[in-house]
Amino acid sequence: MALTKENIHKTPYDKATIVGYNRLEGVPNSPDYRKSLSAEIHDALWMLTRQWQMGEFDAEDAGTPVKTKLLVEQQKMTHMDTGNKGVFPLPLAAPLEMVVEKEGRIADLAFRIETGKLFKQILIENNLQAQLADFLAMFKIQKLELAQESSPEGKLVARIRSNRSDLQLFDALKNRVLDGFVIFEALTKPGNTYQSWIEASLATSGSTVVANAIKAGQDFRTQVDFFYGADMQKANAVWRSENLDYQFNIQTDEDPAKATIMEVKSYPGGRLDWYDFDIKQTANGNAQLTTHTFIPSPVTYPGMPKSRWWEMEENEINFGNINAKTTDLPTLILIDFALIYGNDWLMIPFPMELNNLCTIKGFLVKDVFGFHTYIPPVDTSSDISWKKWSLFSHTDNSGKSKEPLFYLAPTLLKPLEQEPLEKVSFLRDEISNMAWAFENVIPGALGKGLRGAEVPEKEEAEEGTTTKDQPLKYLLGKEVPFYQVPFIPVEIPFDSEHSKMHLQRARMPTGPEPRGVFLTEIPSPYYIHEENISRAGTTLIRRWQRTRWINGTVAQWIGREKQAGKSEGSSTLLFDLLT
């Protein structure tokens, strides 16, 4: 088609053609450039020409959104399934990490002294100063020395004697301090042996003294439950020792058949987030449909190209100076998105409540021209991958998404962590074809961790002087320190979910039992799945954690965390020695 003045407007702007002019610019005719640089527009036809040149007259659905209405389905998680330990209501007065990780406090020496001082104060408040000697004779902390070595109290005494500072404190207080944990057990065990002892021992002091002593015991139990929780010595319900991690489910109903279930197959401790949860089952038992209206706002980022003419851009990011090679496809895609489609993205804020599972069923968009556009949710059933793409949505164990669900978990923001109470490093020893658990930090009697290598195993015998005539002594094998615990490989054929090879906790012929919680909470035989200890090793840590929750209360608990090790290792076990 020949280009004439009559048909120039019919020429497509986006196809190659020869025109009389292909550039619009002002030509200044004065040495003063200030008026030209101000880019004043005196003719509206110039702006229409620019719109035609940029192709805006041929655009489709180019209206700017001004209002959106969302249809949202939400379900509240109400229960936690701990597996073989049962289902219980999910408390919301604490972060989910505390609910999952919390374990009962161990009655160490520090706890017994602290609660003993509390009980003494309560006795004084109830006018029982004259009876303090009777209580001390019955509940003094020195009676720990009478416990059997294999009992928890006997093991506590062994830990006390292994550390000089703990032993000095115990010797200084054992005849002057009450054992608060023994009193707490007497109050909580069936039969209430505390009240029986009060009625038998203090009957001669009068009914008022007996009543005050019974009231003091009730006050003491109430305060211990408030400060330390009613789950003293209680084991964690979701910790799996064979996997060295936490496993649990949360659901929307107590009955699993009627509930939407989100499962956590492997939580190593530390911090939970939405991507730790997988969809196990969906249901609409307590789902609530609501509509919400919002004004969409443009998505911005540093260095974003400006969408308006003559607007100066920031120099934080220079997309034109990015050195991308031909194989850097992600970089090229990012540049293409930033320069061409950056201003096409809008954000619709939807405030969710904690502990809710949310599904966007769709939303209606109204633009500046008054047109309405319905945008459906992600099509997870489509065979085309880009149609079911979603940035924040949960999947099942196979990696597929059943519905575009998002769970806003009530999790931590910034916890405070104490130095480890206990630290165990699992290492592979390929030379001896076994694994070792190094108790690098063991729990002390005063609630602090002690370095295993610095804790004396037993009193060392005085070494005699060597002489030239002393014969050589042959040793078949060398003893290893007490904090090095062996794990030997054993085969367990009937296990469909894990490999047949397991690691079983063992013991050296003359070695003592482990001293920490990790290696003693499961009686023999204690197995660990072999795949949980990689070539780099695995480290377990127990420590106190503390945070302030959204309602202002302070949450404090003992939690565990599984971390990757640093490298392979070996013990000090040697064979065929001449000394």
Please state, rounded to an integer, the average pLDDT across all residues of the chain. 81
Residue 43 tokens read as: 């003719």
- Asked if residue 328 belongs to a domain, the reply is no
Report the DSSP beta bridge partners of residue 538. 426, 564
Query: By the 8 A CB rule, do 359 and 70 touch?
Result: no
Its domain, for residue 214, covers: 109-228
Lowest mean pLDDT segment, chosen from 23-32, 295-304, 326-335, 460-469: 460-469
Would 558 be classed as within a structural domain? yes
- pLDDT of 463 over the 50 cut: no
Which residues does 227 contact at the CB level (< 8 Å), separation at least 6? none
pLDDT top residue among 8 and 214: 214
Residues 19 and 146 in one domain: no
Rounded to a whole number of angstroms, the distance between the first and last alpha carbons of the chain is 106
The 8-class DSSP code of residue 384 comes to: S
- Domain assignment present for 427: yes
In a domain, 34, yes or no: yes
**pLDDT of res. 20:** 56
d(CA 571, CA 168): 33
Q: How far apart are CA 166 and CA 149, in angstroms?
A: 18
Question: Is residue 303, in this structure, part of any structural domain at all?
Answer: no
Q: Which of 205, 228, 251 is the last residue of a domain?
A: 228
Q: Is the pLDDT of residue 494 over 60?
A: yes
As a whole number, mean pLDDT of residues 120-146 equals 88
Is 138 strand, coil or helix? helix
The dihedral of CA 125, 130, 131, 137: what is its sign? positive
What value does the mean pLDDT take over residues 504-520? 83
Q: What is the pLDDT of residue 332?
A: 83
Of 32-46, 455-469, 486-500, the least confident = 455-469
- 259-298 per-residue burial string, b: 16 or more CB within 10 A, e: under 16: bbbbbbeebbbbbbeeebbbbbbbbeeeeeeeeeeeebee
**Which H helix or E strand runs over 560?**
strand 554-564
Using DSSP's 3-state secondary structure scheme, residue 96 falls into helix
Greatest distance between any 2 Cα atoms in the chain: 125
Residue 114 domain flag: yes
What does the pLDDT look like over 15-36, one tens digit per residue? Answer: 655 555 556 666 667 777 777 6
Asked if residue 350 is part of any domain, the answer here is: no
User: What value does the mean pLDDT take over residues 343-357?
Assistant: 86
| Minimum mean pLDDT range among 15-24, 33-42, 423-432 | 15-24
- Do 432 and 553 belong together in one domain? yes
pLDDT at 140 over 70: yes
| DSSP conformational letter for 265 | E
Query: Where would I find the H helices in 102-248?
Result: 109-125, 132-139, 152-161, 164-173, 180-188, 193-201, 207-228
Domain co-membership, 37 together with 174: no
Amino acid residing at 109? L
Stated length of the chain? 579
Q: How many whole angstroms separate alpha carbon 262 and alpha carbon 395?
A: 10
Question: What pLDDT is stored for residue 299 in this prediction?
Answer: 84
126 plus 221 within the same structural domain: yes
pLDDT (mean) for 110-119 = 89
Q: How large is the average pLDDT for residues 420-430?
A: 88
Which among 2-11, 56-65, 562-571 has the top mean pLDDT?
562-571
Closest CA to 483 of 420, 423, 418, 568: 423
Asked whether residue 559 falls in the same domain as residue 442, the answer is yes
How many other C-beta atoms lie within 10 A of the C-beta of residue 322? 13
pLDDT value at position 69? 93
Kindly state whether residue 72 falls inside one of the protein's structural domains: no
The mean pLDDT value for 42-58 works out to 77
CA-CA-CA-CA torsion sign (308, 309, 311, 317): positive
**Measured CA distances, 54 to 16, 49, 213, 312 (Å):** 15, 9, 90, 20
Prior bond of 377 cis (ω within 30°): no
Q: 3-state class of 448 per DSSP?
A: coil
pLDDT at position 462, please? 44
- Together in a domain, 15 and 144: no
Q: Compute the chain's Rg from CA coordinates.
A: 36
Measured in whole angstroms, the distance separating CA 147 from the mean position of its chain's CA atoms is: 38
Same domain, yes or no: 33 and 171: no
Q: For residues 141 and 157, give the distance between their C-alpha atoms in angstroms, rounded to a whole number.
A: 11
Query: What is the phi-psi region of residue 526: left when phi exceeds 0, alpha when psi lies from -120 to 50, beta otherwise?
Result: beta
Rounded CA-CA distance 467/495 in Å is 58
The whole-number average pLDDT for the span 41-67 is 76
pLDDT class of 472 with cuts at 50, 70, 90? confident
Q: Quick one: 568 and 434 in the same domain?
A: yes
- C-alpha distance from residue 66 to each of 45, 62, 63, 293 (Å): 27, 12, 9, 11
Q: Where are the alpha helices (DSSP H) in 229-322?
A: none
Predicted confidence at residue 561, as pLDDT, reads: 92
- Find the mean pLDDT for residues 414-429: 88
The model's pLDDT over 217-262, given as tens digits with 9 standing for 90+, comes to 899 988 888 777 766 767 788 899 888 999 999 999 888 888 888 9
In this structure, are 420 and 569 located in the same domain?
yes
- Among 228, 245, 275, residue at a domain's last position: 228
Structure tokens at 325: 């090679």
Give the pLDDT of residue 540. Answer: 93
- Cα–chain-centroid distance for residue 113? 32
Amino acid at 392: F
pLDDT tens sequence across 147-173: 888 788 888 888 888 788 888 888 888
Using DSSP's 3-state secondary structure scheme, residue 435 falls into: strand
573 plus 511 within the same structural domain: yes
| Euclidean distance between CA atoms 365 and 311, whole angstroms | 28
Token pair for 278: 């997988």
Co-location of 420 and 554 in the same domain: yes
Q: What is the pLDDT of residues 527-557, one digit of tens each?
A: 898 888 888 889 999 999 999 888 888 888 8
On whether both 50 and 165 belong to a single domain, the answer is no
For CA atoms 356, 362, 367, 372, give the dihedral sign. negative
Domain boundary among 228, 253, 284: 228
At 163-200, the pLDDT tens digits run 888 888 888 888 888 988 888 888 888 777 888 888 88
How many domains does the chain fold into?
3
- Evaluate whether 448 touches 169 at the Cβ level (below 8 Å): no
Residue type, 543: R
Torsional class of 206: left (φ above 0), alpha (ψ -120 to 50), beta (otherwise):
left
Quote the CA–CA distance of 419 and 542 in Å, as a whole number: 9
Measured between alpha carbons, how far is 532 from 60 in angstroms, rounded to an integer?
Answer: 56
Strands (E) in 230-294, as ranges, are 239-240, 245-251, 261-267, 278-281, 288-294
Spatial CA neighbour of 557 closest among 239, 151, 217, 119: 239
